[in-house]
Structure 1
Amino acid sequence: MSPTNTENMKEHLGEAGGHLKSAANAAGSAVKGAAGAAGDELRLGKAQMKAELSDSALAGLAAAELSGAAAKEQMDALMDKGKDLVDSAADLIRERPLASFGVAFAAGWIIAKLARSND
């Protein structure tokens, strides 16, 4: 006896249900795999971000440590220039004492005049 239409329909519905179940399992596996891969990428990105922030902090600390030495270098250079200027002025005073006295006297007189005019 050949199967009836109802039996054929039930058989096909059962087969369709089996395929749907397999498709749902495959979709679940794909979602789990995608979530796992995304989690792995997130962990990798987080680790890279932490490493870059750590390197940035270390570079900032190194720069801060060197800033004191750099400031000392600049101060030393400024002091050397000041000493050179004082030495140059001393040489000029030795070479032309009368002119130096005249310039100092005139500068003092001008400063005194300005100070009196402000009162």
Structure 2
Amino acid sequence: MAVKRIKPNVQSDNFDASRAFYTDVIGLEEQRGLDWILFFGTDQREVQLSVMKLDVKAHLHPDVSIEVDDVDEVHARAVAAGAEIVYPLTDEDWGLRRFFLRDPNGAVINVTQHR
């Protein structure tokens, strides 16, 4: 199992201000998103930041997304370690298999794998 990228998720109810800030001030490019999540980055896939309303399916905000190449293995290790799963392992309509767990500090981590 390998980690492919780690991406912070900023919660926002003001997408217009976020667009202006992350493109005009920071210099990132807006990339294709959904009505509840915006993506900003560069031509390097590993450089990405998400700005989102409350997660549309999990109904809570993940602080960080970690993309892996085997989400089932990470899920099994999380369960074996007794980690708190706050959103179950799910195949999402937008092409991700993912689950959310809480880290020891209380942060919600979205572990994902592209299908």
Normalised by the size of structure 1, how large is the TM-score?
0.16
Structure with the bigger RCO (C-alpha within 8 Å, sep 6+) is 2
> Which of these two proteins has the greater Rg computed from alpha carbons?
1
Q: Which has the higher strand share?
A: 2
